[in-house]
A and B are shown apart, each in its own frame.
Chain A
Amino acid sequence: MDAVRIHGAVATKVKAMESKLLSNDDYLNLLRMKSITECAQYLKEKTGYGRVLADVDVDTVHRGALEGHIKKNIIYNIDKIIHYYSGSYKEFINTFFAKYEIDDLKDLAREVYKKGKIENYEDNVFIGKYSKAEPSKILAAKSVGDIIVALKDTVFEKYTSHLLDDNRRENLFRFEMALDMAYYSILQREWGKLSPEDQETIRYVYGTIGDVLNIQWIYRGKKFYNIEPEILLNYTIKLYNRLNFKKIKELCYEGSLSQFLDKARQTYYDFLFKNDETIDIYMDRRMHRYLYYYLQKIDQYTKMNLINVVAYILFLEFEARDIISIIEIIRYDVPEDEGKKYLIKNIH
């Protein structure tokens, strides 16, 4: 009964909103577009993105700005959902903004680290959305340190301020990692306040997300950065489903890459490591596509649960990623059939 009270109205709303997600045909049409302008025009006139693109001049819009508008669609839809919730549920939905804002902050930190200033920020539309930080302050940063200072008096301060007094080296990597850890700690804090039924499904789903992220992290850490096992382990996310701490630790301490791959191919997530040559190209896509269909299944079989809303928001996120991929596919003239392989959604 309680679940109906909490989720009844929003479940209906979300079902209606799901119907506005792009269809298979939309994807095909978009893939056949010849330019970014055509693509923007199609999104504006034929899809649910019309609202966020209403004031955009499709003839002059460039890639970064268009990506920003596409991400704004996520904000628009999450804001709509948030109205249906109160208290701890509202806070939990808000953590999505924490996640997106952290992605943007990391993006900007990378930019300022490379260039000493921030020039391109049109697609970083989430800045301040969760933390309530003043975007202009962050955009004025001349170093990663400045960003940390600009985050003073926000929820992120607690997780990042200690990076400042330690001036041994201003470290982009540390900042990124601290923010990622901040997200998972905020996430876990917030879901602790949900009803037991919702917590159970949320923990389960995020456990799976944690699994794929962890195994991907260990693989990349070993292959590209040669990170020591202790440190690999410390940076793993404490969200487990099929791969618990013990298994993750074993994977971290595998001596060589090939030993790791042998071991990883014995896990449930062997599909990520199919065919040595394509591992790196498709890893992200494989991971997201797996989660996409995994969530669809769960969404279908679970009723009156927070996971329905979470799934929808993640679908929105995947869709935004796909559109951004399509824009790149168009820009770099990738043939349609080849392009499809980079999309999260399986287009046929």
Chain B
Amino acid sequence: MAVEKMKTVGIVGRIADMDRICRSIVLNGSMHMLNALSEINSNYFKISASEENIEAIEESSHIRPYNASKDFGKDEQIIKSLNDIFDFQPSIDAGSIGIDYDYAQLINAMKEEYDAVKELWDEIEKKNKLVEEKKNYIKNLSYMKNVDMDIGQLLNLKYLKLRLFVISRESYGRLKGNYENIPSLVLKVAATDDNIIVMSVAPQCFDDEIERLFTSLNYQELKLPVGYSGTAQEIIEKLTGEIKNILNEIKGLKEQVQKHRGDISPAIKKAYSVLMLEKKVEIVKREAAMGKKLFFLFGYVPKSKVKRLQKELWDYFGSRIILVIDDAPVKEMAKSPPTKFKNNWIIRPFEALIRMYGLPSYDEVDPTIFFGLSYMLLFGAMFGDLGQGFVILLAGLYLTYRKKSASFGGVLSRLGGSSMVFGLLYGSVFGNEHVIPALFIRPMANINTMLILAIGLGVILMTISFLYSLINNWKRRNIEEGIFGREGLVGFLFFLTLIFTAANSYLKLADIPLSVLISIMAVLLLLNVFKEPISNLIKGSNRLYKEKITDYYTEAGFGVVETLLSFLSNTISFIRVGAFALNHAGLYLAFETMAEMINSGFGGALVLVLGNIIIIGLEGLIVFIQGLRLEYYELFSKYYSGNGVEYTPIRLNS
């Protein structure tokens, strides 16, 4: 339950094997690629000096990027057309393809298949176009339904020409403003939202002028069919009949095409899979560094997957390949290792919320378990209700299994479950507090206790955050922040003393004079102020300050004020957990009162149902957000940076 360990894997192979090696990597699907060129240049990539490695070492000093990129556009087009023609859903079958195939041959076979059906298909396309054209005529003619005359005759006149134009309302206004100067009969036949459709009848000899005139009005011409007679309605009917005939012909042609269908299906599927694989291979190659005879690839592989990759590559290529496998060091690499979450199913959905803030970096403890548990706790405490929690649980399950939204659905169902547990503790079902007994406390009856408990919970959660921060700083060997920093040991001790002082003055836990406590805190604050010079002294570095001394102390001085303020405010911030628990009960109380005011059983019940819906929807949302705020702001700011890069291995299905 943490961030998965990564290994660096360097691969050196012969360029002749390059295609096949890259294919194996993609099919294996566990390598997160890095740019080999920059890794080799950063001097991290080292090959042990032995006899079989001599060639590789020699070549690693004369490398260049891979830049012979392939264009798959045409091949893709062919396969896509075939899939369209035969109505196949493109699907990848990784199992059957292997790495020893001849790509060009496969694609050529597809080309032949395509050419075989192309003629028929073109015929179908042509007929489809004809149908479109005729449909368009029908649409255009339908604007002229109100023109009660033989349109066919008008369209076939020798000396006059009928045309149909669409122009904007604004242009129509201009046209109207200048009717007297236009050499054409213009009739408005229909109108749409923005546009006016006008019919123009003008002598043939004026056609150029008409064209120019309407051009200046930004026209669009609607084409009308030639060679028909009758009114618009009659022509439309004729056209409809024709369309029907053509559609029948298309159907016949399609049946002919489908005769090929059964035989070709597996071949297309394979070609499609191969094409997808080749495209991924191209992505792998782009990260390669090329020597004269050898090429270099570099990437991260999770520790648990290294063995399989190693075995697969060795099985295929044996001694023709050199593998350099090493633990991922954090600092020496050009790019730090990627993060892969590794959590059990209970808290896995919460990874999505962590991702929203930022992924843990490789040298950071994965906060998901603490985040998940504390978030459930906070949500439940603020929204404790057996019935409403159950509704949220159901909603979460619905999202998970019906809508396939595993992360959000998962979060919701877990929060719902937590809410139900707290519902039992608070004795609340759908807001009603009279049905079941409270196992722990009734919030409304113990307001002060609730608020104090909330702060207590906050202190506990913040303490855990400090522990996380200490571990993270330990992992980074960061003395300055880990020991003297505000989120380090000094800060932690200061926080504990502060809390103790506050608690002591209220509860009289121990007889320590206030002055002693204040001096302890003062010393701790001073240590924090001088963190940079002190830690530099310890490390023995000869420069005490990175920046100007005055700048440093101004900043540190304000830092003290901020430390004081933020520790106080962060702690008090948790009071909202208690407040929302109260709020939850209070809101229901308001609806209950309204329900009683309505003197009808049915009306009252309706108000209660409505109230519950509002509480679940509105307050549920608010509590969701407030809980997230406590996590992100009050807690994450203590220990979590979230600067990680996601582990995205190159694989076929993604």
What B residues does A165 contact at CB under 8 A? 220
| A231 located at the interface, meaning its Cβ lies under 8 Å from any Cβ of chain B in the complex | yes
Are A166 and B181 neighbours in the complex by a CB distance under 8 Å?
no
| B310 located at the interface, meaning its Cβ lies under 8 Å from any Cβ of chain A in the complex | no
Are B213 and A166 neighbours in the complex by a CB distance under 8 Å?
no
Q: Which of B146-183 contact A (CB under 8 A)?
A: 166, 168, 170-171, 173-175, 177-178, 181-182
| Residue in contact with B216 in the complex, picked from A185, A235, A245, CB distance below 8 Å | A235
Q: Which of A199-233 contact B (CB under 8 A)?
A: 228-231, 233
Are B168 and A230 neighbours in the complex by a CB distance under 8 Å?
no
CB distance from A148 to the nearest CB of B (A): 13
Are B212 and A231 neighbours in the complex by a CB distance under 8 Å?
yes
Known A228-B212, A229-B181, A249-B178: A234·B217 in contact at CB below 8 Å: yes
What A residues does B646 contact at CB under 8 A? none
Are A230 and B213 neighbours in the complex by a CB distance under 8 Å?
yes
Considering the chains assembled together, what is the distance between the CA atoms of A231 and B173 in angstroms?
14
Interface size on B, residues (CB 8 A): 22
| A78 located at the interface, meaning its Cβ lies under 8 Å from any Cβ of chain B in the complex | no
What number of residue pairs across chains A and B have CB atoms under 8 A from each other? 47
Are A230 and B182 neighbours in the complex by a CB distance under 8 Å?
yes
Q: Which of A145-201 contact B (CB under 8 A)?
A: 159, 162, 165-166, 168, 171, 174, 177-178, 181, 185
CB distance from A334 to the nearest CB of B (A): 38
| A90 located at the interface, meaning its Cβ lies under 8 Å from any Cβ of chain B in the complex | no
| Residue in contact with A162 in the complex, picked from B175, B209, B216, B220, CB distance below 8 Å | B220
Are A231 and B216 neighbours in the complex by a CB distance under 8 Å?
yes
Known A231-B213, A233-B174: A177·B218 in contact at CB below 8 Å: yes
What A residues does B209 contact at CB under 8 A? 228
| A117 located at the interface, meaning its Cβ lies under 8 Å from any Cβ of chain B in the complex | no
Are A230 and B216 neighbours in the complex by a CB distance under 8 Å?
yes
| B449 located at the interface, meaning its Cβ lies under 8 Å from any Cβ of chain A in the complex | no
| B265 located at the interface, meaning its Cβ lies under 8 Å from any Cβ of chain A in the complex | no
CB distance from B216 to the nearest CB of A (A): 4
Are B181 and A230 neighbours in the complex by a CB distance under 8 Å?
yes
Q: Which of A259-288 contact B (CB under 8 A)?
A: none
Are A177 and B220 neighbours in the complex by a CB distance under 8 Å?
no
Q: Classify the secondary structure of A's interface with B.
A: helix
Considering the chains assembled together, what is the distance between the CA atoms of A101 and B218 in angstroms?
20
Known A174-B215, A177-B218: A185·B170 in contact at CB below 8 Å: yes
Known A166-B221, A181-B218: A234·B213 in contact at CB below 8 Å: yes
What A residues does B217 contact at CB under 8 A? 234
What A residues does B174 contact at CB under 8 A? 233-234, 238
Are B168 and A185 neighbours in the complex by a CB distance under 8 Å?
yes
Considering the chains assembled together, what is the distance between the CA atoms of A228 and B170 in angstroms?
20
What B residues does A229 contact at CB under 8 A? 181
| Residue in contact with B171 in the complex, picked from A162, A168, A231, A234, CB distance below 8 Å | A234
What B residues does A230 contact at CB under 8 A? 178, 181-182, 213, 216
Are B177 and A249 neighbours in the complex by a CB distance under 8 Å?
yes
In the complex, the chain B residue whose C-beta lies closest to that of A158 is B194
In the complex, the chain B residue whose C-beta lies closest to that of A238 is B170
Are A234 and B170 neighbours in the complex by a CB distance under 8 Å?
no
- 18 more A-B residue pairs beyond the given contacts A159-B218, A171-B215, A238-B170, with a C-beta to C-beta distance below 8 A: A162-B218, A162-B220, A165-B220, A166-B220, A166-B221, A168-B211, A174-B215, A177-B216, A178-B218, A185-B170, A229-B181, A230-B216, A231-B215, A234-B171, A234-B175, A234-B217, A249-B177, A253-B181
Give residues in A with beta carbon < 8 Å to B: 159, 162, 165-166, 168, 171, 174, 177-178, 181, 185, 228-231, 233-235, 238, 245, 249, 253
Give residues in B with beta carbon < 8 Å to A: 166, 168, 170-171, 173-175, 177-178, 181-182, 209, 211-213, 215-221
Some 17 contacts from A to B, beta carbons below 8 A apart, are A159-B218, A162-B219, A165-B220, A166-B220, A171-B215, A177-B216, A230-B178, A230-B182, A231-B212, A231-B215, A233-B178, A234-B171, A234-B174, A234-B175, A234-B213, A235-B216, A238-B174
